[in-house]
Structure 1
Amino acid sequence: MKQKLGYASGALADNLIMNGFSALVLPVYNIGLFVNPVLLGWAMAIPRFFDAITDPIMGNLSDNTRTRWGRRRPYIVAGIIATVLLLPLLWMAPSSADWTVFWWLTIFGVLYFLAYTVFIIPYQALGFEMTSDYDERTRLLAWPNYIGLTASFFMPWLPRFIEFDGFGGVVSGAIWVSVAMGVIILVSGLLPAIVGREIARAEDQQKIKLLDAIKLTLKNRAFLIVVSANVVMLTGLATFVNLSLYVNIFYIYGGDRDAGTALAGIAGSTYAGFSYLSVLLGTTIATRLGKKPACFILLSLTLLGVSSMWWTLRPEWPYLQLASTALVGFGLQGSWMMFFIMIGDVCEEDERENGLRREGIFSAVGGFSRKMSVAVASILGGSMLSLIAFDAEAAANGTLDPSVLDRLKTVFVLGQASVVMLGMLLLYFYPISRARAEETQRILQQRRAAPSEEL
């Protein structure tokens, strides 16, 4: 339990690092300072593109590293410290001019997410290799979801926190909030390096070149299916969820930022609360029926939740949407957890086929796909506001055409439902069942018991 909790604490840092950036860019620079949302979309996306490209490099570097402290832990420490130092700088642009903010956010965003890569890729790889048991891996990797979700209770409140009058403005508010988050990130991010233990036998394996590692990884059919389903859903949901704050402020409350950000915070906390139940439900089903059936059940709940928003997003009953939010939370978080845990089973299959422990490169390619998804979603989110003719200044002044807000709701609801259905379709082809995973474990255990014979 000590190792489980220590490793899981890193998920709290992960949540704050990744989502703290996304949660504050538009509230600070678009809603607060009226910076062009299309430029902000690109400023959010370019660091993610750069970050995604560095993921495979970091993964292979970690797999090939040999130190007295292991392959993962030195990078976890270095990455977490650099991230904490860079976070407040994101909000210190020298002026609110569109292009000044664009270049500032782009440059410091690249450095910030590079530091994040140095932390997150070795951190995820460490989790994959702490156990090789099919069900124990599920139980171990459920804990980061429990701990990481702690941040999700107050993450939706960040736009509200930075509006606090005592800060003197959204920019200074974002800086102070970032400093507070940095303290939590530092403590929680260092714990995995202290208590995490790697699989010792991997230290003596041969090193593999980056291009060869990527080629082997992309030949793995099960991995490609998991990644494709994850990419489709993450890109779509991140694109449309970026619009949720706008829905609450402008569609539900007609431009009242205080009421809209408060409702967004309550909705986010509701989602986080039911996400705990989602993790528990997913863990329970997966240890009895397997990971694929668990994922299908959870995605079905998610689909039902996002579809119901068509009826629950109503200005006359603002809090009715919480029923849909609860249902989405009950399904979605466990689905993300299943996608991640499935990659651990893929690593075992890869060792069976290729004789190598390559958790780093699998984590990296998976991370590459997720970060590219978020990067694309950042562009699409900013562009989506432009395509539906949304203008934050006009909306704040009450001069926005009401039909724009109707389009905002339509895109927000139907877009989410579509990508969840597509993700379920892709998941249908995932080939690793419980029986297949247990067979793989038997083969690997036999090899480890008699390594000379296998060689």
Structure 2
Amino acid sequence: MKTPPGAGSSATGSLPRSVHAGYALGSLATGAFGTVPGLLLLPYLTDTLGVAAGLAALLVLLPKAWDVLVNPVAGRISDRTRSRWGARRPYLLVAGLALAVLFASIFAAPFGSGPAAVAYVAFAFLATATAFAFFQVPYVAMPAELTGDYAERTRLMTWRIAVLALAILVSGAVAPLVVSAGGDGVTGHRWMGLFVAALIALGALGAFLGTRSAPTGTVGESEPTLRAQLAVAGANRPFRALLICFVVQSAGVATILAGVNYFAGQILRDEESGPTLLFVCFVGPALLVMPIWTRIGARLGKRTALVVASLILAVGAFALVAAPVLPAVAVYLMVALLGVGYAGQQVFALAMLPDCIAHETARTGRRQAGVFTGLWTAGETFGLALGPGIYGLVLQLSGYVSSDTGSAAAQSDTARLGVLLGFTLIPALLIAPPVLLLRQYTLTAQALTDATPDGRVDHGVVVGDESR
């Protein structure tokens, strides 16, 4: 029998702060894995293992592209899981700890440099991406089941994005410092791998333990086959538009992340502190402006606020084309502008996803959270992998010279131009145009209320209530 609309969200009011905080801790794991490979794996391959930029781009892209197939399967499996911990929480523990161990293995370098080392990194990264799929998909599915309240889902996402920003700041800013403190080269990267693995394990354990008192939701009937589930998700027009927009924008953001070390070394001429300062300027403002974005969303609506944030992010990236002739302080201020846009782009996209899931539940009476979040995380993971792939291709085409010394080789003016454009113009072109797709996103608080027979949506404080 079908689950009534709204089932799977066993709470219709506010969740305890302890659940907000506990759930948000999972972003330590997702933020660290989403940031560090995109930031350091490409330079690790080109400047420590001596891999050509084009081949390095493929090694970064292909293992994560595997998740396009794995994530929907992980979603389907978690949808059908029955345990005393609920459908999702077992994966937070088991897959989360496996993710930590496998991440450290990526940078273990048991074969030094050469073809064997390259093959090892590719295999270790593939295994890590698979573990991440089984952590991320259930994790992202949880908000639609923790609460049926439209506004509460946004508050939950605000906590999550705040911790995500902190995770990006800590992992992205500190990881390069750990590499330097560990002696650079292979040894420094090994220490960095252990440091990030500890962050991931902390996030996984925190999310598992922090949500132990949260409602697990009522498990309902899902579509009988994976093909049928994917067909249902594809027929959800708002979800389809939001997904495509977010995936392309994720590729743009990941291109920026992939270029941080190169941009700091080749454009700012500051290999030591440049990457850390760029990350502090990018993520620091995100922690400060989150409440402001929440108020903007309440006034403009989630969709409009997402468009505004995306345009701020794109304009900031494009303006950095002038970085070679600007003083360093001006460059860092412009990167802070990117951080403001990035914070809004993340929080509103992720707050709109549970609304798509709730809309589908109300429309069909079936629980599809795992399928939708499986597709979402597959797309996001692919976008985050595509960014370094794009950046590596730009480096290859511009003639970037690889090195196996642990330090970047001297580069030509053409290669330095490639470093600059890959960090600025290309991300801007990936981030701005997809907002046109959001014209097909029509979900509002009123629309969700109208679609739910008992009208279980709190209009008291609705972030992004476009019906006002």
Q: Structures share a fold, TM > 0.5?
A: yes
Q: Are the equivalent residues in 2 in contact too, given 1:223–1:343 (CA < 8 A)?
A: yes
Which residue of the other structure, out of 202, 216, 219, is the alignment partner of 1:187? 202
Q: Which residue of 2 aligns with 1:145?
A: 161
Q: Which residue of 1 aligns with 2:103?
A: 87
Which residue of the other structure, out of 316, 336, 345, is the alignment partner of 1:335? 345
Pair 1:10–1:396, CA change in 2 (3 A): closer
Matched, 1:359 2:373: no
Instruction: State the 1:358 CA deviation.
Output: 1.6
Pair 1:300–1:221, CA change in 2 (3 A): same
Cα distance between partner residues in 1 of 2:418 and 2:220: 58
Which residue of the other structure, out of 175, 178, 184, is the alignment partner of 1:161? 178
Matched, 1:178 2:193: yes
Cα distance between partner residues in 2 of 1:159 and 1:135: 38
Q: Which residue of 2 aligns with 1:292?
A: 303
Q: Are the equivalent residues in 2 in contact too, given 1:218–1:224 (CA < 8 A)?
A: yes
Cα distance between partner residues in 2 of 1:444 and 1:135: 14
Q: Which residue of 1 aligns with 2:275?
A: 264
Gaps of 5+ in 1: 254-258, 447-455
Instruction: State the 1:43 CA deviation.
Output: 1.6
Deviates more, 1:235-244 or 1:347-356: 235-244
Q: Which residue of 2 aligns with 1:29?
A: 45
Which residue of the other structure, out of 391, 398, 405, is the alignment partner of 2:401? 391
**2:167 aligned counterpart, secondary structure:** helix
Deviates more, 1:401-410 or 1:112-121: 401-410
1:249-289 Cα deviation digits (max 9, x unpaired): 01221xxxxx2241121111111111123422222222333
Cα distance between partner residues in 2 of 1:59 and 1:39: 31
Cα distance between partner residues in 2 of 1:185 and 1:200: 23
Corresponding residue pairs, total: 437
AA paired with 1:32?
T
Q: Which residue of 2 aligns with 1:226?
A: 242
Pair 1:91–1:150, CA change in 2 (3 A): same
1:344-402 Cα deviation digits (max 9, x unpaired): 0001110111101221111100111112223333322221110111214499454x332
Cα distance between partner residues in 1 of 2:449 and 2:294: 17
Cα distance between partner residues in 1 of 2:191 and 2:217: 45
Pair 1:427–1:260, CA change in 2 (3 A): farther
Matched, 1:427 2:438: yes
Alignment of 1:117-128 (within 5 A): 117-128=133-144
Q: Are the equivalent residues in 2 in contact too, given 1:23–1:159 (CA < 8 A)?
A: no
Cα distance between partner residues in 1 of 2:254 and 2:34: 12
**1:390 aligned counterpart, secondary structure:** coil
Which residue of the other structure, out of 340, 345, 348, is the alignment partner of 2:355? 345
Pair 1:185–1:410, CA change in 2 (3 A): closer
Q: Which residue of 1 aligns with 2:426?
A: 415
Q: Which residue of 1 aligns with 2:89?
A: 73
Which residue of the other structure, out of 99, 105, 112, is the alignment partner of 2:121? 105
Cα distance between partner residues in 1 of 2:103 and 2:254: 21
Instruction: Give the RMSD, CA atoms, in angstroms.
Output: 2.3
Cα distance between partner residues in 2 of 1:401 and 1:414: 20
Q: Which residue of 2 aligns with 1:310?
A: 321
TM-score with structure 2 setting the length: 0.87
1:374-433 Cα deviation digits (max 9, x unpaired): 3333322221110111214499454x3323323432343221222222122222331112
Matched, 1:46 2:62: yes
Report percent identity of matched pairs.
Answer: 22
Cα distance between partner residues in 2 of 1:276 and 1:15: 14
Pair 1:151–1:201, CA change in 2 (3 A): closer
TM-score with structure 1 setting the length: 0.89
Q: Are the equivalent residues in 2 in contact too, given 1:80–1:189 (CA < 8 A)?
A: yes
**2:146 aligned counterpart, secondary structure:** coil
Q: Are the equivalent residues in 1 in contact too, given 2:223–2:366 (CA < 8 A)?
A: no
Cα distance between partner residues in 2 of 1:331 and 1:112: 30
Instruction: State the 1:113 CA deviation.
Output: 1.2
Cα distance between partner residues in 1 of 2:291 and 2:452: 25
Which residue of the other structure, out of 440, 447, 458, is the alignment partner of 1:436? 447
Q: Which residue of 2 aligns with 1:250?
A: 266
Gaps of 5+ in 2: 1-16, 458-468
Instruction: State the 1:191 CA deviation.
Output: 2.3
Q: Which residue of 2 aligns with 1:320?
A: 330
AA paired with 2:186?
V
1:123-159 Cα deviation digits (max 9, x unpaired): 1111222112111111111101111221222313422
Cα distance between partner residues in 1 of 2:289 and 2:373: 23
